[in-house]
Homo-oligomer: A and B are copies of this chain.
Amino acid sequence: MVTAASISSRIIDAILAEQLPPNARLGEQELAKLFGCSRTVVREAMIELSARGIVTVSSRRGWYLTEISAADARALYEAREVIETGLLRSFARRGAQLDMATLYRLRGHLEQQKAALGDANVGRRSYLLGDFHVCLAECLGNRILAAKLRDLTVLTTLFTMRHQTSGDAERSYKEHVAVFQALEAGDPAAAERRMCNHLGTWEEKVHMVREVDALESLRQALAPVTEPGVEVAGPKASDERKDGRGPAEIPATKGAK
């Protein structure tokens, strides 16, 4: 049976795996056919995602994945920094320690990230690198903030997909390891500093795209082949075309869970 929760979950996974670009259209009828249910169920999923800021409805036109403006992105990264470093700080202040099972879980997650680095599967790599932050928040013992953080991570992904700032996966992985090692060594304060630096490197990049943002999406849509110099934006768009699927198509294989 197809529930609204399963639909929204699939969509979120697809975004985290960079398989659904921002502004992708999510037609009710289309999704209903795809999932084999009625529009009612799809609509429930859309409303839920809308409450979480992930999709936006344009009246009687359709549902679209939210397009994150540069201003929103700034608030977004600030929010992530506040939450992620704040959780570590709170953890440090209460003098808690991660137990063996939790350390094991985090170590396992890092192993998966490492494995995905060499892998050709770009989607899974993106998914895991983003999911680590949520996983860490859960491990720090606050499910409420972890849930909020998951949504923020999704929105972050929507922004980086558009602006191609994701870049250095290997570096991200190494910084994750560094955070983990500080926690493992019982030094959450150091973990907080490292996390702060880790998030800071992304935040810098946001400020760099601040000015050009207004034209960015148009430019990307209009000039895919004419200028060979800007090819960083090219492969993604052409990848989507050559497998013959529309942008709103749901991938057949689930990201990872």
Contact = CB atoms under 8 A, between A and B. Distances in A.
Nearest to A49: B51
Copies in the complex: 2
A119 interface: no
Contact of A51 (B48, B78, B83, B87): B48
B83 A90 contact: no
Interface residues on A, range: 20 to 34
Interface in A1-44: 4, 43-44
A82 B79 contact: no
Interface stretch (A142-150, A173-181, A217-225, A231-239): A142-150
A108 interface: no
A162 interface: no
A198 interface: no
A113 interface: no
A48 B82 CA distance: 25
Given A82-B86, A85-B86, A144-B152, 15 more contacts: A43-B44, A47-B48, A47-B51, A53-B144, A53-B147, A75-B142, A78-B90, A79-B142, A81-B86, A81-B90, A82-B82, A82-B89, A83-B86, A86-B86, A148-B148
